[in-house]
Each structure stands twice: as C-alpha cells, then as structure tokens.
Structure 1
Amino acid sequence: MHDFYLKLRMLRKEKKITQQQLADRLGITKAMISAYENGIRLPSYDILIKIAAIFNVSTDFLLGINTARNLCVKGLTEHQIELLTAIIEELQHVNHKDI
C-alpha cells in the first residue's frame, strides 16, 4: 500500500480532476483526498473500490499487487481496438528488448 498515494495522485492528474472534484464524486472531503495523496491516511475498502471504478483500474493496481492497467475501449470500433492492441504489443516488445 505504500505506493497508493502516488498512484492516486497520478491517476487524478491524468484524468485532470481536482481533489475537490474527486472528493465530491466519492462523497468525502477534500481533506481526505489530500490525506490519501500525502500518505497520511488510507481509504476504507468501500472508498478504495469507488476510486478503482472512477479511474477504471483494479484495486490490485491501486494496492501495488498488480501493475496491469485497464483501457476503456467503449465507443471504439473493432478495428480501432485491434490497432490499439497491436500498438501495445509492439511497445511491450520494444521495451522488453531493452531489458
């Protein structure tokens, strides 16, 4: 859980939402979001599940158990999904060669 605060901040900034906006969506205070992002407090299970849903990631990702992330392909054509899959596989192949 030691990386939870870093992941939360990263995901929030990627989605371009403020701490207040995230707090409003979760039904908690901005101070709680700040405490999470500064590693002072950890969320309850219920809040953790809601955070995962908002950012379309697994709770395992948030907890550092699994580094895989989900991509939302809603609204994309089958061809576009195939293209994204090919790009991801190529990038993984390139990155693996560098190791």
Structure 2
Amino acid sequence: MYHNELFGLRLRKIRSRNHETQKELAEILGVKPNQIGEMENGRGATTLAKLAHICEHYNVSADYLLGLTDEPRPLVSEKKEEE
C-alpha cells in the first residue's frame, strides 16, 4: 500500500547511497530543492514523469519506491547492461 512517508524514506535512502544532495537531485528533475525535501518528508508528491525519471536515474523500480515491494529491483539488469 502506498504512503507518502514510505516513498520519502526510500527516496532519501537511495539519494544518500548515491552521495547526492537534495539540490543535485532537484537540478536533475528540474524542481526546487525544497520540493525534494517535501517529498522525502512525506509532505509532497511528484508527477508520474518525475517518478519515472527518478527510477531511471537511480536504476530502481517504481514498485520499490512506491512501497509495492520491499525488494529494490533494478530497472535494467546487469546482464542487459553488459550486452
């Protein structure tokens, strides 16, 4: 089941693991840094287009970010990248 808070926690976790600041992610998505903070704190949402961009940028499934699965499956498997 989707909850803004879970989406925010997972977004913050993935962003931090990639050593990116809120400002850097905001620039990638074309939004203001405070919007990233609002998403990470569960007070804001994003568009489907930006969700897709986040998934592509971090190579993680939307299902994981949205809380539909607990497994952070990559969008592109390593096998496909090697081919």
Could you tell me the TM-score, scaled by structure 1's length? 0.69
Aligned to 2:48: 45
Per-residue deviation, residues 9-64 of structure 1 (Å, max 9, x unmatched): 00000000000000001111101101101111111111111111111111111101
* Structure index of larger Rg: 1
Maintained 8 Å contact 2:39/2:46: yes
**Cα offset, 1:69, TM superposition:** 2.1
Q: RMSD of aligned C-alpha atoms?
A: 1.7
1:1-12 aligned at under 5 Å gives the runs: 1-2=2-3, 3-12=6-15
Partner AA of 1:24 in structure 2: E
- Secondary structure, in 3 states, of the residue corresponding to 1:42? coil
Identity %: 33
Q: Distance in 1 between matches of 2:73 and 2:67?
A: 14
Q: Any runs of at least 4 consecutive aligned residues in structure 1 with deviations exceeding 4 A, and if so which?
A: none
Number of the residue aligned with 1:34: 37
Amino acid corresponding to residue 48 of structure 1 in structure 2: L
Instruction: Identify unmatched segments of 5+ residues in structure 1.
Output: 76-99
Q: TM-score, normalised by structure 2?
A: 0.81
RCO higher in structure (CA 8 A, sep ≥6): 2
